[in-house]
Amino acid sequence: LKSVTGAFKRIGLEAIVSRDEKVIREAKGIVLPGVGTFPTAMKNLERFHLVSLLKERKEAGIPILGICLGMQILFEKGYEVEETKGLGFIPGYVSYMDIDEKIPHMGWNQLHKTQNHLLLKYVHENEDVYFVHSYYLKAEDEQIVKASAEYGVHIHASVEQKNVFACQFHPEKSSTAGLRILKNFVEL
């Protein structure tokens, strides 16, 4: 949370960390950062009665940005620890990176951009961003995938669908490229 709020501060915007319904309802944009496991994240969202509130804000057209685990829980289900239902904002699922490379995928890796991307505007092809993850997204609709990366498997690194945006990597830890991504989100 400190990295995310610090990154927003560096681009001149105060980000408020809250699970308060009133604060979330008044927000012009919502960021779902994520560290931990898919089941724990979903249990916490349910425990604090945020699942229906997030769905309501999504339906109201409020821009939502998921980062790392925050991206993963935007999808229908995840297979970390146990099969767990996600928010279901976007069709697809998250599974373990069963590869011959070192897990977790941690460090800098190049982004390969696809067509028409709002979040990655001004981010250059093959620009490096910072990843930390052991599970990866398999989006049902390839058209929503706006960038990918390679690490023993093809990783859907960034997706966009209407007002829902997400990055498997950490823009808040991705130097100037990451700050450009956060600025693009703010402009939405």
List 59, 68, 133, 156, catalytic entry: 68
72, 36 contact by CB (below 8 A): no
List 124, 154, 172, 187, catalytic entry: 172
Instruction: Read off the tokens for 152.
Output: 């023993």
Kindly report the number of other CB atoms within 10 A of residue 35's CB atom: 14
What is the rounded CA–CA span in Å between residue 50 and residue 39? 15
**Residue 170: active-site member:** yes
Question: Which of 138, 147, 140 is closest to 167 using CA atoms?
Answer: 147
Range list of H helices, 30-174? 38-47, 51-59, 69-72
**Residue 172: active-site member:** yes
List 105, 133, 156, 170, catalytic entry: 170
Catalytic residues: 68, 170, 172
